């Protein structure tokens, strides 16, 4: 990638008094995948939706993995830094530096959003993670997350994001001061209607709290 302008992405300004949602698709998705979801979560919000820069068997991803469920953590760290730098570029380029930016990610996209928040808390104001897990196994997180809001939505029988890893993620987030909201439903990997309802309410409440 020669420059951030060359990173394929969608930007829609939305209402200037609403937050911007950084949409992070799952494995095999594209910058267009989560646009319908964003319309259900916060229809007036701005949209910044990039494409995952890593290829795995022709599928777009956000970082490499050694095998399913085993991440290349060095690559997670590198790609989280790239995403934070892209976001800094987008804030300046699109004039959104004074707006809240909340990552909304599914699966692989949730994991890179969480990694960016854990490693570069200045880049994001919040994260909504659907079917995410702890992305930094074996690493120590020292960042101050006291200004970061995180909402986790997981299934209790998700083989791709096991609850043990979600519990580890929650413990790390809380230990670093993040304001954490969790929802665990029955079922496996995916974004269920109850997740969407919960996330929409969380985003609306957070927007009211920030603007008050």
The residues annotated as belonging to the active site are: 107, 158, 189
C-alpha 126/C-alpha 206 separation (Å) is: 9
Please choose, from the candidates 98, 114, 117, the residue with its C-alpha nearest in 3D space to the C-alpha of residue 106.
Answer: 114
Q: What are phi and psi of 24, to 5 degrees?
A: -125, 105
Please choose, from the candidates 100, 90, 88, 113, the residue with its C-alpha nearest in 3D space to the C-alpha of residue 23.
Answer: 113
C-alpha 103/C-alpha 83 separation (Å) is: 11
Crossing angle between the packed helical segments 108-119 and 73-93, to the nearest 10 degrees: 80
Q: How many Cβ atoms are within 10 Å of 159's Cβ, its own excluded?
A: 10
Please choose, from the candidates 168, 158, 104, the residue with its C-alpha nearest in 3D space to the C-alpha of residue 131.
Answer: 158
């Amino acid at each position: 990638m020669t420059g951030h302008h060359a990173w394929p992405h969608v930007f829609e300004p939305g209402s200037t008094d609403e937050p911007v949602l950084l949409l992070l698709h799952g494995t095999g998705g594209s910058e267009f995948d989560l646009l319908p979801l964003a319309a259900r979560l916060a229809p007036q919000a701005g949209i910044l939706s990039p494409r995952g820069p890593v290829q795995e068997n022709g599928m777009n991803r956000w970082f490499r993995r050694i095998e399913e469920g085993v991440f290349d953590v060095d690559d997670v760290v590198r790609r989280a830094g790239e995403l934070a730098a892209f976001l800094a570029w987008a804030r300046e380029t699109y004039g959104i530096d004074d707006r809240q930016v909340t990552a909304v990610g599914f699966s692989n996209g949730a994991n890179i959003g969480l990694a960016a928040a854990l490693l570069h808390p200045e880049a994001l104001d919040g994260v909504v993670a659907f079917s995410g897990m702890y992305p930094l196994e074996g690493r120590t997180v020292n960042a101050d997350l006291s200004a970061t809001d995180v909402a986790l939505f997981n299934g209790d029988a998700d083989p791709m994001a096991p609850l043990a890893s979600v519990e580890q993620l929650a413990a790390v987030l809380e230990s670093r001061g993040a304001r954490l909201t969790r929802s665990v439903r029955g079922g496996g990997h995916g974004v269920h209607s109850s997740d969407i309802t919960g996330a929409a309410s969380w985003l609306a409440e957070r927007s009211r709290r920030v603007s008050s």
